[in-house]
Structure 1
Amino acid sequence: MPNAAPLDLLLLPTWLVPVEPAGVVLKEHGLGIRDGLIVYIGPRAEALRQQALQVRELPGMLLSPGLINAHGHAAMTLFRGLADDLPLMTWLQDHIWPAEGQWVSEDFVGDGTDLAIAEQIKGGITCFADMYFYPKVAADRVHNSGMRAQITVPVLDFAIPGARNTDEALHNGVELFNDLAHHPRITVALGPHAPYTVSDENLERVRVIADELDAMIQMHVHETALEVEQSLEVFKERPLARLGRLGLLGPRFQAVHMTQISDEDLALLVESNSSVIHCPESNLKLASGFCPVERLWQAGVNVAVGTDGAASNNDLDLLGETRTAALLAKAVAGSASALDAHRALRMATLNGARALGIQACTGSLEIGKAADMVAFDLSGLAQQPIYDPVSQLIYATGRDCVSHVWVAGKQLLDDRRLTRMDEQALCDTAIAWGRKIAGEARSTQ
């Protein structure tokens, strides 16, 4: 259209991987952005005829949708490495919960969330789901950063930092949801922590509020075999069946971990159209079990991928997480063709957007969607030769190859440098927290 306004930015990568349609790799194509949206995709020669205020050549680079980290606890970056090599309940009850009780404050959450945001941007993540205390503080940091996020308000049966009881937690969640209802980059979800920390009564309250607000629900479910066994003892049913009975399952439900899946569990997930968030490295590190990703995928369940928190992973590297997910899926399924590279990338992008309920806005490079994108530099020695750039991305590329990141057309990483955040200041702040926490930990031993 000759009368159309010029593009704000025209990108010219070597490879463009839109993710939708599935399996497509466009070579020597251009992508145009205007007002934060993708408005043009076409062959390079045609793209160069477009009027653009800025043209950016990306030789040797693969342009894909930004990665979506569908589950984590951002501020726990400040507990990275604090209590390693321990089983889940020991890790939680004897180390993490006491540390949280002592250290978590608004300042802790603000500084830890900033650190997590910066690490994720540098790793090609444009959107993340966060479930942690003082969610309003986290939302403020996301707002300032330019990133996209689902802020998940934690709900438990007991007092937590920032909420003296369940009533206050739910009130805070509703208030935050309403405050951010029209935010262009932030959504608010409810986060009942886990079946073993939330009663039937409070789960029903979560369901009622989520239905009224049309809000997403994210929850740790079937993380370990012990969780399932204890539920059978106490409730005479598996946790997922209990959640189904209470009406929580559905297209807005995000079941995190799901390492224990029976035929009945699978049928419930399919019937309810719930999403599963797979956190393979945290599950491996805590010896929690294996999510049967290929089985879920073949049954039609939407599976996304998350890093979990840095206290149990220990990084927020979603590209690495996706590689682990692909390799683990093959071993669990006993099939080398399980979760191929293209599907793995889809799991880390569009499936994540679908799980978070934002697939109309992001998750793929399509005209009309937000320009949430990452450019991976595949020109290095370790990526050569390139037969299938998506295979090289998943199996031979690390997050150090992330060169540029845009969210809603705004560049947050330029040639591996953060554009809005001071990396050295973030490191200095994290080191100061570490010294304080480690010093206190030594003095109490």
Structure 2
Amino acid sequence: MQVDHLIQARWIIPVEPASVIYENYSLVIDDGKIIDLLDNAEALQKYQPQTLERLEQHVLIPGLINCHTHAAMSLLSGIADDLPLMDWLQNHIWPAEQKWVSEAFVRDGTDLAIAEMIRGGTTCLNDMYFFPEVAAQQAIAHGIRANIGLIVFDFPTVWAENADVYLTKGLALHERLRHESLITTSFAPHAPYTVSDEPLAKMLTFANELDLSIHMHLHETQHEVDEQKQKTAQTPLQRMHDLGLLSPAFMGVHMTQLSKQEIEFYAGTGAHIIHCPESNLKLASGFCPVAACLDAGINVALGTDGAASNNDQDMLAEMRVAALLAKGVSGRANAVPAMQALQMATINGAKALGLDHKIGSLTIGKAADVVAIDLSEVETQPVFNPLTQIVYAASRNQVSDVWVAGKRLLNKRQLTTLDLNDLRERAAVWQQRLASS
């Protein structure tokens, strides 16, 4: 049988089923999908590929899913380090955005982020930022999968003047994008403290009508919780529940401030948590009680947050920090074992986005979103277990090849849809502009 691609690897970790690591196996890809997973010798007897790839020291994993990003903020990385969230946001990030954010800013920042993500093994991003139509355009141009946030604020920004205009523009963008094979959309109200009840209620009506998920910062800091309690005698979580937002279509980002009772309550709603450990640590926002949330049955996925607060978009590093932090916070060395960390970066993200029928594991019938990691480097030798080496030792520089829907976006560390020199030049222009302000 003739097929498009056959990739032979030393190891394949499909994620589903969770306990399996195949050795000396082949992944067979045709028309952008995985059609088989079988022993190397058998694969060569059964298939005649147009391209045959032998990766004898590599492990194949599903593409990593970055479930919370502000991609264009890559251009703001490092401009306001070592500050708590509200100081960082109100006194540094928002003023910089007010002055500089434009279509050109979002185009160049998103390109920079996409290049970084592909080179680190990310094949799908869940974005929340201004000019979402530009982010979608760049994702399409460069072949990466993306869930584009239809942002909502109460106050005017460079993209819209009030909540009704955000919603109107978001709905129009959803209509424009709904036939794009690599693009989906979600409503993305920024946070409880920036969006009032009326627009949230309107947004929920549209989300239910269009079957769209909702992606929102929630319980990010103790300050956020205390401020809401002072205003309404409710926590932000209670307010979102009263408004009807909490459901299996809701993604709560950060969730560092959760009591045992709130964890049990949230689990009952079927809503997801997007955990951003590096950003939370850097901004001293708190610790999401991941082990307790997983034990309660909550689906927990991973995101990097924007590079302005991280300061990178490295999902391999995020996996490692998530696993180690969960152990430290819970006091249990087995709180988030390596396989669970990989699930949080792959299939759990797919579930949060409602895309687990399509991505998140190397399963026959799913899209061929695939990452190859070279474990021959001295830093990952010897390899007793390729899974634990990925989570606890490998760096993103060991990501050698990346495919999205069967299309190769990284070929032996070389980007195929982006020019690094061009990116460096554009980044340097923005650095000069931002430094002079």
Output the TM-score relative to the length of structure 2.
0.99
User: Residue 158 of structure 2 corresponds to which residue in structure 1?
Assistant: 161
Whether 1:8 aligns to 2:4 is yes
CA distance in 2, matches of 1:158, 1:264: 33
Q: CA RMSD in A?
A: 0.7
Listed one character per residue, the Cα deviations across residues 12-48 of structure 1 (whole Å, up to 9, x for unaligned) are 0000000000121001110100000000110111111
User: Residue 110 of structure 2 corresponds to which residue in structure 1?
Assistant: 113
Contact 1:412 1:419 in 2 (8 A): yes
User: Residue 28 of structure 2 corresponds to which residue in structure 1?
Assistant: 32
**Which residue, 425, 429, 433 being the options, matches 1:428?**
425
Listed one character per residue, the Cα deviations across residues 191-240 of structure 1 (whole Å, up to 9, x for unaligned) are 11101111111111111111111101000000001111111111111111
CA distance in 2, matches of 1:235, 1:387: 55
**Which residue, 360, 364, 374 being the options, matches 1:363?**
360
User: Residue 133 of structure 1 corresponds to which residue in structure 2?
Assistant: 130
Whether 1:306 aligns to 2:303 is yes
Structure 2 residue identity aligned to 1:266: I
User: Residue 63 of structure 2 corresponds to which residue in structure 1?
Assistant: 66
Offset of residue 280 of structure 1: 0.3
Contact 1:244 1:268 in 2 (8 A): no
Structure 2 residue identity aligned to 1:329: A
Output the TM-score relative to the length of structure 1.
0.97
CA distance in 2, matches of 1:174, 1:101: 24
For 1:20, what is the secondary structure of its paired residue?
coil
Offset of residue 437 of structure 1: 0.8
CA distance in 1, matches of 2:370, 2:123: 7
| Identity between Structure 1 and Structure 2 (%) | 53
Whether 1:89 aligns to 2:86 is yes
Higher deviation after alignment, 372-381 or 155-164: 155-164
CA distance in 1, matches of 2:19, 2:234: 40
**Which residue, 174, 178, 182 being the options, matches 2:175?**
178
Offset of residue 53 of structure 1: 1.3
Listed one character per residue, the Cα deviations across residues 317-368 of structure 1 (whole Å, up to 9, x for unaligned) are 0100110000000001100111001110010000011111111110000000
**Which residue, 38, 42, 65 being the options, matches 1:42?**
38
Contact 2:327 2:336 in 1 (8 A): yes
* Structure 2, gaps ≥5 residues long: none
Structure 1 residue identity aligned to 2:173: L
CA distance in 2, matches of 1:212, 1:264: 31
User: Residue 443 of structure 1 corresponds to which residue in structure 2?
Assistant: none
User: Residue 399 of structure 1 corresponds to which residue in structure 2?
Assistant: 396
Matches within 5 A, 1:340-359: 340-359=337-356
Offset of residue 307 of structure 1: 0.3
For 1:254, what is the secondary structure of its paired residue?
strand
Structure 2 residue identity aligned to 1:298: D
Whether 1:234 aligns to 2:231 is yes
CA distance in 2, matches of 1:356, 1:93: 29
Moved over 4 A (4+): none
Contact 2:164 2:199 in 1 (8 A): no
Whether 1:280 aligns to 2:277 is yes
Structure 2 residue identity aligned to 1:201: E
* Structure 1, gaps ≥5 residues long: 441-445
Structure 2 residue identity aligned to 1:343: Q
Contact 1:73 1:309 in 2 (8 A): yes
User: Residue 95 of structure 2 corresponds to which residue in structure 1?
Assistant: 98
Offset of residue 268 of structure 1: 2.5
